[in-house]
Amino acid sequence: MWTYLLKRIGLALVILIGASALIYMLTMMMPADYIDNQTAAAVQNGSMTLEDVMRLKELYGLADKSVGGVAKSYGKWLTSALRGDLGFSFLYGRPVSSVLKDYIWISFFIALFSFVIEIIIAIPMGIKAAVNQYSAYDYTVSVFAMAGTALPSFFLSALLMNLLAIRLRIFPLQGLTTATKVFAQDAHLAIFLDKAWHLVLPIMVLTLLGIGGTMKFTRTNMLEVMNSDYIRTARAKGLSERTVTYKHAFRNTMIPLVTSLSGMLPGLFGGAMITESVFSIPGIGTMALRATQQGDIPFIMGYNMFLSILTVTGMLISDMMYMVVDPRVKLK
């Protein structure tokens, strides 16, 4: 087992280095960087010259975008990253790691609650749809699942905002706190409840968008397992349908589900760029979107490498979870 883990960790390091090189190259190939975005108006009105812009780019390390220059700057970035230094954000004027640490938890709690609710709703729906294949319930939830999967996040966000926030006035429209409320310094519970109420709509959007895919995945795998020989044998032995479904069929469905759910780890910490932007939530997704639009290369690199590490970690966790859901799997 330990030999297997060491091999997987070694492979993960190789993947991360390759991913970092690819991300850095693509980031440097962006049509405009942070300096271009900040000096465009000054160059247009004549208050700055192109020579001034190039001097600024040299100061920020963005001047040489040739193959050799990109390789050299990537080597410097990789050396710093291995020491735990992800660089200094041009846009936010702070270390990248500090920005990630401050804004990641809002996105994490939004994604965590939506993920938990999605699992609680989608998996039982998928199991029931598989057990009652071609029934009215199966057709109904399948149609709603496909609709939820097909809806763009910005459209669903705007729809729920218009219905529940503007027309019915049940939930606040945008933001993380109510601007018209003044809280006492020790009113921690009231502040927490106000923020939680503002996060209901974003959580609802992410949950509705994720239920369809998880439900269809569960249904498809359950149908495959339910047609197996050992399921027919269990029924022939006189076991109840509930025991056959949940103890025998669903246990084997867990293997592909674990693989699917392991990919959720980057989503928990990565934030939902579009949803957070629509609802004006100051999460890590919103911060990453602004940095990408402004060409903030250090933050783009730090954010994407953070997601890469989470992705590789999720794959490693899924490999380990195979032993839990299926005792036949041995890691060697």
Distance CA 299, CA 269 (A): 15
Residue that has been written with the tokens 């109840």 in this structure: 240
The two most distant CA atoms of the chain are separated, in Å, by 86
Predicted local confidence at residue 181, as pLDDT: 78
Copy the structure tokens of residue 138. Answer: 């199966």
Predicted local confidence at residue 121, as pLDDT: 92
| Per-residue pLDDT reduced to its tens digit, 236-271 | 888 888 888 888 888 777 776 776 666 777 777 777
- Domain at 102-297: CATH architecture: Orthogonal Bundle (1.10)
pTM of the model: 0.84
Closest to 177 (Cα-Cα) out of 273, 100, 281, 103:
281
Predicted local confidence at residue 1, as pLDDT: 64
Residue that has been written with the tokens 């846009």 in this structure: 91
Predicted local confidence at residue 327, as pLDDT: 60
Distance CA 28, CA 48 (A): 23
CB atoms within 10 A of CB 134: 8
Predicted local confidence at residue 328, as pLDDT: 60
Q: Give the residues of the chain that fall short of pLDDT 50.
A: none
Predicted local confidence at residue 326, as pLDDT: 62
Distance CA 32, CA 119 (A): 41
Predicted local confidence at residue 65, as pLDDT: 79
Copy the structure tokens of residue 251. Answer: 């246990």
